[in-house]
Amino acid sequence: MRWTPGGESPDIEDRRNESPGNAGMGGGFGGMGGMMLANIVGRRFGIVGLIALFAITFVFRHFFQSAPANPSQYSSPANSANRSVEGGQSNNKEIQFVSFVLDDAQKTWEKVLPEEAGVPYRHAKLVLFRDYTVSGCGAAQSATGPFYCPADEKLYLDLGFFDELANRMGAPGEFAQAYVIAHELGHHVQKLLGIESKMRQLQQRNPGQTNPLSVRFELQADCLAGVWGHSTEQRNLIDPSDIEAGMGAAAAVGDDRIQKMARGYVSPESFTHGSSAERTQWFRRGLESGDIGACNTFAQ
């Protein structure tokens, strides 16, 4: 991936040197926060309404308000054993890369979201932490993997996840790492569009559809990550090898692959993020179309 090293993004909040007992305590709800927030939803939304919400958003340029909900997470099959070195040249380069991806993606959404959806974009923050911190949605731990918290509009990332993505999950490469960040920013876009809060309402109304709806929600974030990827391809920031790395990352975090690695068998009924094939399919759709309107997973 072609990128220009620079300073640290103003949208990065670095908590890596904070002790676990103090990290982020001002904005957290504790371990039960995410579970409590998951229940703060309405009762007047159906699947047809969700499909219509997405369609109207992009056809008629309406802006729907959203409310905080629980974080959407994907976890790695094991704890982060292979950690990035704290400090030093290697770590500095990694921070500069994360900063570049974050700034470039948010700059892209500043342009794309108003043009395609009539919605102003506001920046999310990216919190770098080590092992544990507290988010607006509850505890953030390395073992749960990167996630976005809609309550405080922040992404949470332990850089050790990138080591695991490459070494344990078989998805090396800078664009593989960029995909992870872009996916979580995709959740921020969903929050700004009101899709996230409506989806939580629908889950509350239809508990039996909680997992299938979560899969559609995650696949949409993959597609939105691809929309940013399309922009990077148009600007010659990536080449076919980068695209392959991104696809590899999407496949690596498929529910079927993670379940197979973790316990040796697959339970499709418990999927919350989608299979490897589905995740690569929707990421590719965004990459090829560059169109937010192509990411309506709820209409499938």
In this structure, the strands spanning 125-128 and 154-157 are parallel
pLDDT, averaged across the chain: 82
pLDDT at position 61 over 70: no
- pTM for this entry: 0.81
Q: Please name the helix (run of DSSP H) or strand (run of DSSP E) that holds residue 140, with its range, or none.
A: strand 138-141
pLDDT score of 154: 98
Each residue's pLDDT tens digit, 244-292: 999 999 999 999 999 999 999 999 999 999 999 999 999 999 999 999 9
pLDDT at 206: 95
| Distance from C-alpha of 300 to C-alpha of 12, rounded to nearest angstrom | 36
Lowest-pLDDT range of 16-30, 47-61, 213-227: 47-61
Q: Which residue has the higher pLDDT, 39 or 276?
A: 276
Strand residue runs (E) in 147-273: 147-149, 154-157
Looking at 22-87, list the stretches that DSSP marks H as alpha helix, in order from N- to C-terminal side: 33-38, 47-59
- 75-96: average pLDDT: 55
Q: Is 111 exposed, middle or buried (0-12, 13-18, 19+ CB in 10 A)?
A: exposed
Q: For residue 18, what pLDDT is reported?
A: 83
- Asked if residue 13 has pLDDT above 90, the reply is yes
**pLDDT, position 236:** 96
**Across 27-36, 69-78, 104-113, least confident range:** 27-36
Q: Is 91 exposed, middle or buried (0-12, 13-18, 19+ CB in 10 A)?
A: middle
Enumerate residues 6+ apart whose C-beta is below 8 A from 194: 53, 57, 63, 64, 65, 66
State the average pLDDT over residues 238-245: 96
**What is the band of 92 on the pLDDT scale with cuts at 50, 70, 90?**
confident
CA–CA gap between residue 72 and residue 220 (Å, rounded): 12
Is the pLDDT reported for residue 81 higher than 70?
Answer: no
Q: What is the CA radius of gyration of the chain?
A: 18
Q: What confidence category does residue 6 fall into, taking pLDDT thresholds of 50, 70 and 90?
A: confident
The pLDDT tens digits of the residues spanning 176-210 come to: 999 999 999 999 999 999 999 999 999 999 999 99
Over residues 106-162, the pLDDT tens digits come to 999 999 999 999 999 999 999 999 999 999 999 999 988 999 999 999 999 999 999
pLDDT at 76 over 60: no
SS3 138: strand
Is the pLDDT at 83 greater than 70, yes or no?
Answer: no
Query: Do 143 and 79 contact (CB within 8 A), yes or no?
Result: yes
Q: What is the pLDDT of residue 20?
A: 59
State residue 51's pLDDT score.
Answer: 54
The pLDDT of residue 166: 95
**In 3D, which of 147, 173, 133, 185 has the Cα closest to residue 27?**
133
Domain residue ranges of the chain, discontinuous segments joined by +: 12-299
Question: What is the Cα–Cα distance from 257 to 247, expressed in whole angstroms?
Answer: 14
Above pLDDT 90, what percent of the chain? 72
Which two tokens mark 65? 């308000």
The residue among 125, 135, 111, 176 whose CA lies nearest residue 24 is 135
Q: Say what the pLDDT of residue 50 is.
A: 54
Whether the CB-CB separation of 27 and 152 falls below 8 Å is answered with yes
pLDDT of residue 272: 96
